[in-house]
Chains A and B, each alone.
Chain A
Amino acid sequence: MKRSDITNKNFKDVLTTTIQKLHETQPLYNANVTICEIEPQLQSLMTQSESLPLYGVGIAVKDNFNTKGIKTTASSAILDNYYPVYDATVIEKLKKAGAIIVSKTSMDELGMGGTNINAHTGRTYHPYDRSRITGGSSGGSAALVAAGIVPMALGTDTGDSIRKPAAYCGIVGFKPTYGRISRYGVIPYASSLDHVGFFTTTLKDSALLLEICAGRDHLDATSLFDEVPKYSELGSNIKGKKIGILKNVQDLVTDSTMKQRFNALIEHLKKAGAIIEEIELNNDLMRVILPTYLIIANAEASANHSNLDGIKFGQQQKGNNLEEIMINTRTLGFSRNVRTRFLIGAYSLDSDNQENVFKRAQKVRRLIVENLKQKMQGYDAIINLATSSVAPSPEEVLKQASNDDVSLIVENNMILGNFSGFPSVSIPLGFKDELPYAITLMSHSKREDILFEIGYEIELFTQLAGKVKGE
């Protein structure tokens, strides 16, 4: 489903069908935390102009965006009774553009995970094969777009949490430059790495959403002041574009189907006028992307979530005094996985370890980003396969070695976009055994326009724009 499939004449019928499908497919995909009431939103829409860019378009929203009056849990038991009294800035913008929120979608608890297995409401199932993971942490949003139930969905991306589930599910996953979209009202994971972004079936729809959602917000001190370009007016513009193939990743992928398709894409881009060369980053630094990420993300998360204590909001537990109430609330409210991540964060920030663990990770982050910037000089973008394989099963995820180069480098390459804040997108490339796989493209900060201009040419090659399950 695409934005353009919805008109001012058919939107009510489409919304009715969408809600019906969300209910029908919940036992199949388990992608929703809350299926939303749309009647009040439709009444509000009737007071708005029919020329709005998303007039009557149903959109799914990851459950870590505060949505006024709609339960918002971040897939954590501790927030199972939390009803925000305000909208996140991006939700306000979408509503003003005419969008209707139809679902709050499942995620790894508080964004902490890459599988969508660790959700309070249970794991999310891959639309093409229920035995496989969707990827996470924005897995519910990815599943609903890939299944053709909604045309677009919001996600957040701290360490590939939009782009990897999009790659596994066969749709576009777009993460703009850090600060391009306000994070105000988003339940955070790690503030220096968190990005708001989208799942769509076409790049054109991502461009439209970016134009609507981007822009300075004084409620988020890190949001960019820059004027928002007219992304939706861009088209394919590949001639003369200089693109680097990220050798560190490509050399490690062994799947012949994926590699052959990737090589065919590169030939197509060359014929269309792109200049394509290999680039190679420092492999020692590539191997420490994951450790650096986990230390920084867990440390920031442990500080960010100290406000989840059940006092002002959240699922409070009994206790004889304030301390006991908080301890019981947080012990029962967070899963074992999340408490362990907070503990690692606290360990990294402890005054005895801070210099050697947390600050060292921040220094390595700088080295990784400086190496990336240096190697990207003179190139408009870098391209590579997004993952080493199609979506794995939960059992395969558990078996994956965590210390070989495929796991450390290929499976974590997209974190480069979070460290640097550079815009990055995953675009479906093909199917293997009826399961999708994707490429990822990254450009320089504030150059989302380049991603669209190259990406449209990639869509011309793949002919997968707009594709969802069953079509």
Chain B
Amino acid sequence: MTKEEIQALAKTCMFQFDDSEIEYVNESFDVLYHQIELLSQIDTSNVEAMVYPFEEPITYLRVDTHSRELSKEDVLKNAMEKDDNYIKVVTKVVK
């Protein structure tokens, strides 16, 4: 992948790579392409994707009762910046 393609895909993941990391990413993708090639040699026609180890359908609904809640203090405890009832993210939203 080109540096631009890597950064474009990285943006969809909400992070970046610096220039010194691009070679490592490309080496990792070379391994991935080889893995895809190995998988392509396996005949998967008429095979359903396996999403979870056990595929028994869930046919129940749990009882909709109040079981637990977090206090306002607990909800806000780990936020870096907060303002009374809110998590503060940016100081200004309208330019």
Q: What is the interface of chain A, defined by CB distance below 8 A to chain B? A: 81-83, 85-86, 178-179, 192, 218, 221-222, 284-285, 287-288, 290-292, 294-295, 302, 306, 309-314, 316, 319-323, 325-327, 330-331, 334, 336, 339-340, 342-344, 346-347, 350, 356-357, 359-367, 369, 402-403, 419-421, 445
Give Cα A350–Cα B62 distance, bound, in whole angstroms: 34
Given known A-B contacts A331-B15, A420-B53, A291 and B44 have beta carbons under 8 A apart:
no
A-B pairs with CB below 8 Å: how many? 146
Q: Which of B15, B21, B87 contacts A342 (CB 8 A)?
A: B15
23 contacts across the A-B interface (CB closer than 8 A): A85-B74, A85-B75, A86-B70, A192-B52, A222-B52, A222-B54, A285-B42, A287-B38, A291-B36, A292-B39, A310-B80, A327-B15, A327-B16, A330-B15, A339-B10, A343-B25, A346-B12, A359-B49, A363-B47, A363-B49, A366-B49, A369-B50, A403-B34
Residues of B contacting A366 with CB < 8 Å?
47-50
Residues of A contacting B17 with CB < 8 Å?
336, 339
Give Cα A434–Cα B74 distance, bound, in whole angstroms: 49
Residues of A contacting B87 with CB < 8 Å?
311-312
Main secondary structure of the interface of A (DSSP, over half): helix
Residues of A contacting B24 with CB < 8 Å?
336, 340
How far apart are A148's CB and chain B's nearest CB, in angstroms? 34
Residues of B contacting A310 with CB < 8 Å?
80
Q: Which residue of A lies closest to B25 (CB)?
A: A340
Give Cα A222–Cα B14 distance, bound, in whole angstroms: 29
Residues of B contacting A309 with CB < 8 Å?
14
A313 engages B39 (CB within 8 Å): no
Give Cα A346–Cα B15 distance, bound, in whole angstroms: 12
Residues of B contacting A364 with CB < 8 Å?
39, 42, 44
A85 engages B35 (CB within 8 Å): no
Q: Which residue of A lies closest to B32 (CB)?
A: A344
